[in-house]
Amino acid sequence: MAPDQQDRQTRDLPGRPASAAPSPEEPTEPREPLPPKEDQAAPADVSATGRDWHEARHPRAQGGAHHTTAQGLRLPDTDHSLKAGVRGPVLLQDHHLREKITHFDHERIPERVVHARGAGAHGVFTGYGTASHICRAAFLAKDAETPVFVRFSTVVGSRGSADTVRDTRGFATKFYTSEGVFDLVGNNIPVFFIQDAVKFPDVVHAAKPHPDREIPQAQSAHDTFWDFVSLHTEATFHTMMFMSDRGIPRSFRMMEGFGVHTFRLVGPDGGTTLAKFHWKPRAGVHSLVWEEAQIINGVDPDFHRRDLADAIEAGAHPQWELGVQTFPDTPEQTFQGIDLLDPTKIVPEEMAPVQPVGLLTLNANPSNFFAETEQVAFHPGHLVPGVDLTDDALLAGRLFSYLDTQISRLGGPNFAQLPINRPHVPVNDMHRDGMHQTAVHEGVAPYRPNSLDGGCPFAAGAGAGGYLETPVAVPAATKQRRAPASFLDHTSQPRMFWLSLSPVEREHLIAAYTFELGKCYENAVKERVLGVLADIDGELCEAVAEGLGLPAPAPSGPLPSVPASPALSQVGGTWPAAGRIIGIVADDKGDLDGVRAAREKILAGGMVPLVVAPAGGTLGDGGGEPIVVQRTLAAARSVEFDALLLAGRLAPAPDSYGARDAKAGVADPAESTVDPRAALLAGEAFRHAKPIGGWSGAEEVLAAAGCPVSAPGVLLNGPVDTVVAGVVNLLAGHRVWERFPARAGLGG
Ligand code: HDD
């Protein structure tokens, strides 16, 4: 059948007249391949064999005009199986049917055993040159630009779980440097649960859903998790940190990142320095509040993923400074008494300031989630000259685990050939064959030494950019399964953390423990956690015990005397408001000139206005520039905004859903003066301590929500410009914390 006849037959479906014009979604003419989006081009230009990748890749791209099988055979029809007659039976000889379904059957690959849920972005890292005297790595040189790919993730949940669960976040960065790939595989929390990798399966089994019913998903609020961490007190600092606000970040853009382990940097002269890596977000470190996080998990489970992609698409490119804390490389590998090989300890920033060494900017979204974000494979052992390892026992186990897991997850040893994993430098390895080999290697001598391939490739000494391990002396030692004595201190730094938090952060920490333990069934587990908390702080322990209705135990001994580290608190600073989202709620009767002015001011400040109205379409059709409605009251929740503006009193339209709802909720329908959905938005924003501005009757919305209009952070009825400026000023501090009173005495 000629292709044009086939096209007609395909369109003649039941219910659609044969004469109907082709719909715009169903082109009938072949088209040229679409050019790749400029900012989303494939990351590498060189294949594993050094060939031009685009040339090799092009024939398999899906932008070509004609549909084909995997073998390149052009297909006239992909909608009907080959049958004997129109009513069947289907014939086994239909290769396209079998190929299509077989491929589909194998589309899913195993999800990551941890960090399965994630989101990624491309970007660029620019070195400041400030570390060049202690680290010879080319990517840290002044003004050196290195392409990067970053993947953020939660740890415990499955691939389809929600974004804003309470959890640690992964922060993994792949630098495609001029010397090969360097991976910095870190978290948003500076310490880890365990000191030795041999315990990783234990902590993960405890945190994952219970094996009998496979619940709960992506939660730590269950008995096995708390059973483990209460028996295993080296986990206390990490646990406290993710019970704190750091466990529910506002955005991936607003999290710190940490390499956790101590690394060894090597300078141009071979001198070594011990160092810890830090990522500092330019947008500040901000978190959700717990109720918000829970609402978002239902309303928009993709909240963090969407936030990252939207910000990048809008040109609000998130940025982090990479910084290092540095320590002399002494044989003891301690700094002022802190064991640098213990990944459950930090070195407070007040003792060793974080020195900025470069800037990361995320500027492009992946073109294809599976090909890039899912297939990216990180490994803490992917190093470049200038960065070396220490003997941290947690790091040693990781060096084994990541390669092993990629082989099972990505189906074989050739995952480094996937576009997202390919180094941006020529690869001359002598690995051959294996599953999914895509390189067509030439030559006959993939071994060294050889004479048949001209002796190639040659060993690269230091002068040729070769990676030389630092010749560190290994002290005479006895084999044993033990940790150093300093690893036994599990309380000093958790107590330092508690003492460093502001009253409102302490209140959140107490609430998180009370919530999580309140979800446990076993009293013995709760009591044991209270015992751990008693050794951290009496007030913390008593407050959690009170919430659980259990007695607070006494500490097992005197509490350690430690200074606070103010750098551990997220509250109190001011940050740029750029990139934050401000909801503007209005209807046709509201002050639409005010809405226009507010939008302009918000956009001019690099923030994002989101106009919410009772119905979709536009506002202001009666005069002036129409205002596009971005969310309806039916679809919007306050959790999407960092601040809220109310441009009117938002009466329910007669007979609208809002009016019916309002009437149902009040004794006298005449009292239903405010659309209850607007009141819900305002009430939630108020409860979550968000700045609120309003004019033209906005006080009625707040009154309907039961919010006192004289409360801190509620700015009403000035000129619109002044109200908006006031709200933006408050945003610099993230929230109006005075509306979140902490219990008396928590000031510490
Ligand atoms: Fe891990 C993934 C971070 C300890 C074993 N880990 C993974 C990812 C991050 C971290 C960010 C996700 C990477 C991505 O986005 O693809 N892991 C850490 C940090 C640790 C840590 C900061 C401690 C300081 N991890 C750790 C240990 C082990 C593992 C001790 C095993 C002994 N981690 C894995 C893994 C994963 C992984 C099973 C799962 C998927 C993957 O590697 O590629 O190999």
Each residue's pLDDT tens digit, 420-464 = 999 999 999 999 999 999 988 888 999 989 999 888 888 888 788
Name residue 322's beta-bridge partners.
Answer: 279, 358
Same domain? 518 vs 630: no
* Ligand 1 site-directed mutation target among 173, 194, 401, most atoms within 8 Å of CB: 401
In angstroms, what CA-CA distances link 139 with 8, 33, 360, 385?
57, 36, 12, 10
Please give the pLDDT value at position 654: 64
Q: Which residue would you say has higher pLDDT here, 687 or 29? A: 687
pLDDT per residue as tens digits for the range 643-652: 999 999 998 8
Q: Ligand 1 atom closest to Cα of 395?
A: 30
Distance 647 CA to ligand 1 centre (A): 48
d(CA 639, CA 288): 9
Could you tell me if residue 18 is inside a domain? no
d(CA 146, CA 56): 24
pLDDT per residue as tens digits for the range 43-92: 344 444 444 444 444 445 566 788 888 888 999 999 999 999 999 999 99
Q: Ligand 1 atom closest to Cα of 186?
A: 22
Is-contact 241 297, C-beta < 8 A?
no
Active site residues: 115, 187
Same domain? 185 vs 304: yes
pLDDT per residue as tens digits for the range 201-241: 999 999 999 999 999 999 999 999 999 999 999 999 999 99
Please give the pLDDT value at position 656: 59
Same domain? 227 vs 167: yes
As a three-state string, the secondary structure of 101-135 is: HHHHHCCCCCCCCCCCCEEEEEEEEEECCCCCCCC
Same domain? 553 vs 675: no
d(CA 246, CA 235): 16
Nearest CA to ligand 1 atom 42: 402
Distance 329 CA to ligand 1 centre (A): 26
Distance 392 CA to ligand 1 centre (A): 15
Contacts of 129 (CB under 8 A, 6+ apart): 140, 141, 142, 143
Q: 57 by DSSP, 3-state: which?
A: helix
* ipTM tops 0.95: yes
Compute the average pLDDT of residues 153-165.
Answer: 98
Nearest CA to ligand 1 atom 19: 186
d(CA 579, CA 731): 11
Is-contact 319 359, C-beta < 8 A?
yes
Could you tell me if residue 399 is inside a domain? yes
289 CB-contact burial (10 Å; exposed 0-12 / middle 13-18 / buried 19+): buried
Nearest CA to ligand 1 atom 1: 398
Nearest CA to ligand 1 atom 3: 186
Distance 398 CA to ligand 1 centre (A): 7
Nearest CA to ligand 1 atom 35: 402
Work out the mean pLDDT of the chain and round it to a whole number. Answer: 90
Could you tell me if residue 223 is inside a domain? yes
Distance 148 CA to ligand 1 centre (A): 19
Same domain? 219 vs 248: yes
pLDDT per residue as tens digits for the range 240-283: 999 999 999 999 999 999 999 999 999 999 999 999 999 999 99
Could you tell me if residue 646 is inside a domain? yes
Nearest CA to ligand 1 atom 23: 192
Residue with tokens 């302490």: 506
Distance 203 CA to ligand 1 centre (A): 13
Nearest CA to ligand 1 atom 40: 112
Distance 653 CA to ligand 1 centre (A): 53
Amino acid sitting at position 447: Y
d(CA 63, CA 84): 33
Element (H, E) at 7: helix 3-11
pLDDT per residue as tens digits for the range 486-516: 999 999 999 999 999 999 999 999 999 999 9
Of 162-171, 179-188, 310-319, which range is least confident? 310-319
Is-contact 290 515, C-beta < 8 A?
yes
Confidence band (pLDDT; 50, 70, 90) for 128? Answer: very high
Q: 176 by DSSP, 3-state: which?
A: strand
Nearest CA to ligand 1 atom 26: 398
Could you tell me if residue 443 is inside a domain? no
Tokens of 275: 């160092």
Q: Ligand 1 atom closest to Cα of 400?
A: 32
Same domain? 728 vs 625: yes
Same domain? 531 vs 613: no
pLDDT at 385 over 50: yes
Of 55-69, 76-90, 129-143, 155-169, which range is least confident? 55-69
Please give the pLDDT value at position 34: 55
Beta strands 257-258 and 272-281: pairing type?
antiparallel
**What is the residue-wise DSSP string for 277-320?**
EEEEETT---B--HHHHHHHHHH-TTHHHHHHHHHHHTT---EE
d(CA 393, CA 195): 7
Could you tell me if residue 270 is inside a domain? no
Residue with tokens 């239909």: 94
Same domain? 724 vs 588: yes
Q: Ligand 1 atom closest to Cα of 171?
A: 11
Could you tell me if residue 682 is inside a domain? yes
Compute the average pLDDT of residues 599-623.
Answer: 92
Q: Ligand 1 atom closest to Cα of 170?
A: 11
Same domain? 297 vs 162: yes
d(CA 380, CA 376): 13
CATH code for position 305: 2.40.180.10
Please give the pLDDT value at position 587: 93
pLDDT at 311 over 80: yes
pLDDT per residue as tens digits for the range 677-687: 999 999 999 99
Give, to the nearest 10 degrees, the angle between helix 657-665 and helix 676-687. Answer: 70
Model pTM score: 0.91
Identify the domain boundary among 534, 568, 602: 568
Q: Ligand 1 atom closest to Cα of 259?
A: 22
Using only the alpha carbons of the chain, give its radius of gyration.
29
657 CB-contact burial (10 Å; exposed 0-12 / middle 13-18 / buried 19+): middle
* Ligand 1 site-directed mutation target among 185, 246, 400, most atoms within 8 Å of CB: 185
CATH code for position 659: 3.40.50.880
SS3 content of the chain, % helix, strand, coil (to 5): 30, 15, 55
Ligand 1 pocket list (CB less than 6 A)? 112-115, 118, 151, 153, 170, 172, 185-187, 192, 197, 200, 260, 343, 376-378, 394, 397-398, 401-402, 405-406
Could you tell me if residue 606 is inside a domain? yes
**What is the residue-wise DSSP string for 401-437?**
HHHHHHHHHTTSTTGGGSTTT--SS---------TT-
Q: Where are the alpha helices (DSSP H) in 148-302?
A: 200-207, 223-231, 236-243, 290-299
Distance 168 CA to ligand 1 centre (A): 12
Same domain? 707 vs 671: yes
Please give the pLDDT value at position 475: 85
> In the chain, what percentage of residues exceed pLDDT 70?
88
Distance 380 CA to ligand 1 centre (A): 9
Tokens of 45: 């230009």
Please give the pLDDT value at position 690: 97
Same domain? 690 vs 590: yes
Please give the pLDDT value at position 718: 84
Compute the average pLDDT of residues 543-549.
Answer: 98
Is-contact 651 675, C-beta < 8 A?
yes
Nearest to 192 by CA among 119, 265, 241, 251: 241
The whole domain housing 555 covers: 491-568
Q: Ligand 1 atom closest to Cα of 405?
A: 44
* Ligand 1 site-directed mutation target among 109, 111, 112, most atoms within 8 Å of CB: 112
Same domain? 137 vs 246: yes
Centroid of chain to Cα 227:
27
Please give the pLDDT value at position 624: 83
Question: What is the count of structural domains for the chain?
Answer: 3
